[in-house]
Amino acid sequence: MPRGPGQRAGLTRAAVLDTAHALLAEEGLDALTMRALARRLGVAPNALYSHVPGKTELVDALLDDRLSLVEAPDPAAADPVAALAALMTSSYEVLLARADLLPLYLARQGSRGPNAVRLGIATDALLARLGLAAEAIPSARRALIVHAIGCAAFAGGDGPVPAEMARADFTRSLRWLLDGIAAQPAKSAPP
């Protein structure tokens, strides 16, 4: 029996996001519409707006949720370059499973949800351990992020390049970037 106006469906923001994740994973970005999402939840389309500001914010939340699966590296890791490589590789893997979303993410310059901020801070800490000057750190961070997201968006596409090859490309060019970053002029060392 359908609900009338005023009767609650027990919807929560978490339930909306969970179902959105499932819909995205199962049917792709094109199928992720507010109306299809509402259908899956058994509510009227506009009921979603009590728990989510709009579709843009929902998509942002989905991507940042995804980044919660990446664990921040130990800032005191013995080998900061290896720790950066592991962090970027882990981000790449996790983002690959939601490659549909990445184009939008790139265009918004990685609009910063809490998890993106958390990983950004961890990245900066490792870059500082390499001896980078403070002004050089944001640039290096952006280069690594654009690379990881760009490669994941590319690999997740439906083009002719197989996933394994795209992954090998990612790893190799990541090394080139890290080599370049590590070879940058260091800030003056303490005496």
Partner DNA sequence: ACCTGAACACCGTTCAAGT
Residues near its own copies (CB under 8 A) are 99-100, 102-104, 106-111, 139, 142-143, 146-147, 149-151, 153-154, 156-161, 165-166, 168-169, 172-173, 175-177, 179-181
- The 10 Å CB-count burial string (b at 16+, else e) for 48-59 is beebbeeeeebb
Give the interface size with DNA as a residue count (CB under 7 A): 27
52 near 16, Cβ under 8 Å?
yes
Give the whole-angstrom CA distance, residue 83 versus residue 95: 18
CB of 23 to DNA, least distance (A): 10
The binder of 104, among DNA, its own copies, none, by C-beta within 5 to 8 A per type, is its own copies
CB of 126 to its own copies, least distance (A): 17
Give the whole-angstrom CA distance, residue 97 versus residue 111: 19
- Residue 36 within binding range of DNA, rule CB under 7 A: yes
First to last CA, the chain: 78
Interacting residues toward DNA by CB under 7 A: 2-11, 32-36, 42-47, 49-51, 54-56
